[in-house]
A and B are shown apart, each in its own frame.
Chain A
C-alpha cells in the first residue's frame, strides 16, 4: 500500500492529472491556483510530458486546445479573473469537441477581489460564462484525496465525452494540506480513435452510438478540419438552420444522456433525516461538522454533498425535496447554486440559503445556527 503523505490540494490535482495521463500543461500564474502550475512544471518533464508558461490566460487555454488536437491530454489551471478571460476558448472547446481540463481554484471576486481568500462564486460562470449554448461538466472536490480522484475523473470525462471539463476547486481545498494515501492504480480513459479510414469515408464529427464523435488527432493522415464555427459531420462550417439545430442539440444530448454516469453526490446522516444541508467543495466539510453537532442536539438533519456541480443533480434534489421538511444550501457566495436547488425542488419543500462572502471560510457554528433557523421556521 502506498504511504501516507501530507499533500496540498493543488498538488493532489497535479498528481491526479499525471496519473490520468495528462502530458501537456499550459498555464499562467494566478493565486490561489499557482501551485498546480508549479507542480506540473516540476513533474511533467519527469513523466515525458511538457509544461509551458504562456504569456496570458487566453494563450494558455489556446495552447492546451492545440495540444489536445495533436494528441495530448491537456490541462490548464486558473482562478476567477483568468477563468473569465478563458471563457471564449472554453466555448470553442465545447463547439469543436476538444477534450481538456480547466481547473478554477475559486477566490473572492468580482475583479481582483481577494486573491488569497476562499469563495465559491464562479459556480454560475462555470455553467453560463461563455457565449452561446453548450453544456459543461464541472466537478467540486471536498478533500485533498478527493481532489486527486476527481482530477482523474475530469480527465477521463474530457476524453470520454470530448468536452472541456471544469474542475471547480476552492481555496479551502486547494491550499489545504492533509493526510492522503494515493491509489496505486487509476483507470484511464484512452483517446477515442477513428473507426473508419479516409477511404471508407471517415468524417471527424460523425457521432458514435454515444453521440460523441471519434475525432482523429492531427498527424494521423486524416486531413481533418477543426473550427469553432458550427459545422456538420465533415467538420466544415455550414450555415444551415437544420445542421445548426442538430449540432447544438447533440452537444447537449451527449452529456445529458450520460447524466447518471456523470452526476455524483454523497449523503451523510440522511437515513432518517427530515432536513438536509446541501453543500459542495470545502464548505461541505464545515457543513458536515455542523450537521454532526445538530444531530447531537437531536435534530434529524443530514448532509447531501454535490461532487458534480454541472450537469446539476436535478433528480437527486427533486427526490430529496419530496422527503424533506426543508433544505439548507450552504455556499461561499451571495446565493448561486441555491437557485438551481429551488428550481429542482419545484416547491416540494422550502429551500433556504446560508451564504458567506466575506473572504472567510464558514465555521461550523454558522451553519449550525442556520440549521436551527431552518428547523424553527419549517416544523
Chain B
C-alpha cells in the first residue's frame, strides 16, 4: 500500500510542518511513515518541498519517486513538482495561488489560503487547511488522528481550519 505524497510551496507556508503532522498521524495509527524535506537556504520565500511516504511494511528508500499526490501551494511549486506524478495520482492546488493549473488529468483546486484568511483569520494556517483537504482526499489517516497530531504541533489552531469549513 506504499503511498507517496509531496507537499510543496514556498518557505514560510508551512508545508514541512504539514508533512510532519501528516506523518505523525500515520505513525499514531500504527502505520510505517517517513518524512523528509528539501529547502533553500532562505527561511522565508524560497522553494520548499516535503515528502511523506506511508506504508504498512518497513520503508527502506526514504524518498518519493513517483508521488501519488502532489500538493502545490504556489504556481512555481505546481509547475515544478507535478511532472513525475503517478498518472492515476492527484494534484491538489491552492486555487488562488496557482491561477494556471498545469496540464494534468486529476486536479483538485481548493481555496486553501483564502479559507485560512476568511474562515480562520490567519493566512499562517493555510498549511493546516491543506492538511484537512489532504485528509479528506486521501483517506490515509483518520480525521480525529490528524486533529490530535495538529494539537501537539500547533496548539493554537482553530478546528474549523482542519475541518476545511
Contacts and interface: CB of A to CB of B under 8 A. Distances in A.
A363 B63 contact: yes
B32 interface: yes
A4 B32 CA distance: 10
Interface stretch (A89-97, A100-108, A176-184): A176-184
A363 B65 contact: yes
Contacts of B41: 115-116
B30 A286 contact: no
Interface residues of A, number: 20
Given A175-B37, A177-B34, A178-B33, A289 B24 contact: no
Contacts, number: 55
Contact of A116 (B27, B28, B34, B38): B38
A364 interface: yes
Interface in A151-208: 172, 175-179
Contact of A286 (B24, B34, B60): B60
Interface string B36-55: 11110100000000000000
Interface in A285-318: 285-286, 288-289, 292
A4 B61 contact: no
A176 B35 contact: yes
Nearest to A180: B27
A282 interface: yes
B36 A4 contact: no
Interface string B6-45: 0000000000000010011001101111111111010000
A6 B20 CA distance: 8
B30 A177 contact: no
B23 to A, nearest CB: 5
A115 B42 CA distance: 12
Contacts of A172: 36, 62
B30 A178 contact: no
A47 interface: no
B36 to A, nearest CB: 5
A177 B60 contact: no
Interface string B91-116: 00000000000000000000000000
A102 B65 CA distance: 33
Contact of B35 (A6, A288, A361): A6
B38 A285 contact: no
A287 B20 CA distance: 25
Nearest to A367: B61
Interface in A1-32: 4-6
Contact of A4 (B30, B37, B38, B60): B30
A21 B63 CA distance: 33
Chain B CB count within 10 A is highest, among A116, A176, A179, for A179
A292 B58 CA distance: 13
B108 to A, nearest CB: 26
B40 to A, nearest CB: 8
Nearest to A181: B27
B23 A6 contact: yes
Given A288-B60, A289-B60, A363-B63, A4 B27 contact: yes
Nearest to B34: A178
Nearest to B22: A6
Contacts of A364: 61, 65
B62 A282 contact: yes
B101 to A, nearest CB: 28
7 contacts: A4-B27, A175-B36, A177-B20, A178-B32, A178-B34, A178-B35, A285-B62
Interface of B: 20, 23-24, 27-28, 30-39, 41, 59-63, 65
For the complex of A and B, the 7 pairs showing the least CB-CB separation, nearest first, are: A177-B35, A289-B61, A288-B60, A178-B34, A6-B24, A179-B27, A285-B60
